[in-house]
Structure 1
Amino acid sequence: MKQKIIYFFIAILCSFSSYAQKNPDAIVGQWMSEDNNLKVEVYKDGTQFKAKVIWFDDSDDKNKPWNTRLDEKNPKAALRTRKIVGMEVLSGLTYDEDDDEWVDGVIYDSKSGKEWSSKVWINKNHQLKVRGYWLVSLFGETMTFNKV
């Protein structure tokens, strides 16, 4: 009986250690926003992680289908003719193993044409949290995504 209890505790400890293992590539893949209005693909480019738009909800203006919309609010006139679909909206993220999060990124908001600092992490529910902020993380907004 005592031996069964020891094996039980060893199994529990092993399960905790496997959960705690850090995976720099855990954010790679397709993610749908919690509101089901934006789908992005996160990918690795060298040592950095980036994301591009692969779909978004166009119900705000059915005269402009999602796959034809342009980056009209971009402050750089030369970029206003690029399509939003396929556009890189998150760049420069690097994995911080100590904090198990991706930091030092830049996120682009096509609705305003502004760029913000960003960081990303995966919560205990396996959801992707993307925080865009100004100066310090305290002043920002977080979006939640679920793996597709």
Structure 2
Amino acid sequence: MAASNMVCGKWQLQDGKLIVQVYREGEEYKAKIVWFDDHDDTKNLDYWKDDQNPDPALRSRKILGMNVLEKLAYNPTTNTWEDGIIYDAKHGKHWNSSASLTKEGLLKVKGYWHFKFMGKTLTFKRLNS
């Protein structure tokens, strides 16, 4: 597998509450939600909508299957993925993003507003297919 595609696959948030599928479309890397812990087993995962979206036209779209990461581009010099946009459906906000793989094989995804040092990093572990 090419180094640029090492980020592709299913990844689970370290706390176990979210699984995303990272995939490549052209030269762009994206991620969509494939499972999340909704804390309410009386409702199907398919029930939850993007009701915090700032665009009223998008508030009825389902969170399950929704792209939450787009426009990541592989940088071979640093072996990182840069210049992406991550969407926080819980708050209806978009953030700049970058991603990298650790030596241990963990995926680190950083969301930030203009400056990387002022962001939040989420850690994911790869799920075996």
Structure 1, gaps ≥5 residues long: 1-21
* Secondary structure in 2 matching 1:116: strand
**How big is each residue's C-alpha offset from its partner over 1:66-95, in whole Å with a ceiling of 9 and x where there is no partner?**
221000000000000000001000000000
Structure 2, gaps ≥5 residues long: none
* Secondary structure in 2 matching 1:24: helix
2:58 aligns with: 79
Amino acid in the other structure paired with 1:36: G
C-alpha distance in 1 between matches for 2:11 and 2:86: 16
Larger radius of gyration: 1
Aligned CA RMSD, in angstroms, stands at: 1.1
Kindly report structure 1 stretches of 4+ aligned residues shifted beyond 6 Å: none
1:19 aligns with: none
C-alpha distance in 1 between matches for 2:104 and 2:74: 20
Indicate the structure with greater strand content: 2
Amino acid in the other structure paired with 1:41: Q
How many aligned residue pairs are there?
126
C-alpha distance in 2 between matches for 1:63 and 1:115: 30
Structure 1 length as normaliser, TM-score? 0.82
Structure 2 length as normaliser, TM-score? 0.94
Q: Identify which of structures 1 and 2 has the higher relative contact order when contacts are C-alpha pairs closer than 8 Å and 6+ apart.
A: 2
1:99 aligns with: 78
